[in-house]
A = this chain, B = another copy of it.
């Protein structure tokens, strides 16, 4: 039957990308730069407390290339908290040197394509809850891109029977599973929240794995015939303690 699949939804997500205004940064006094770095450090410290309490998660990477310099990924139980984090960053001393570069609003999502086992609602399972409210891995590399399912003529995901979609997604997941340990993935849904239908965030120890998994997956029918992809952003982990060095001029 052609029907929407039910989804399970977890924390809200904000990808917040910023470009450093290096000219202003270099013009600022040593004291101002210190104040700015401290302000960012304090925000991160506060956010880490939230993560430790299991009330959210976040990660920060340096973007490679000119699309941005920094990518923050924030997860929180409510949209209000995400908005507050964004505003806090804007108001901080560091915020004066950060230009908006891109953002993406979504919510962690799992779909219920497969029937419940033994009548147990999968949403009640601890492992599901852990996936819906994930502590983001602090792996060396991040890759983020948004995607749609195609709706054009003969290639229309939204006019396919649910079990046909389920089968294609199952095949797709088998490709993904080959990368266990090499690539960690968080899927966020953004229909009704941002310009694409889903966001895909990948983490890896080696950036080559991003190319390998996305390339291999592109041959899965669900991608080759039904996938439309947006901009890709890749970054290298920026641990809190490395920020002063990164910003040193």
Contacts and interface: CB of A to CB of B under 8 A. Distances in A.
A234 B12 CA distance: 12
Interface stretch (A28-36, A121-129, A147-155): A147-155
Interface of A: 2-4, 7, 9, 12, 14, 16, 19-20, 22-23, 26, 62, 64-67, 79-80, 82-83, 86-87, 90-91, 95-96, 100-105, 107, 141, 143, 145, 151, 153-156, 158-159, 189-195, 202, 207-208, 210-216, 218-219, 221, 223-225, 227, 230-232, 234, 236, 246, 249
A219 B3 contact: yes
A90 B22 contact: yes
A105 B64 contact: yes
Main secondary structure of the interface of A (DSSP, over half): mixed
A221 B156 CA distance: 11
A159 B218 CA distance: 9
B193 A215 contact: no
Contact of A215 (B4, B218, B230): B4
B236 A215 contact: no
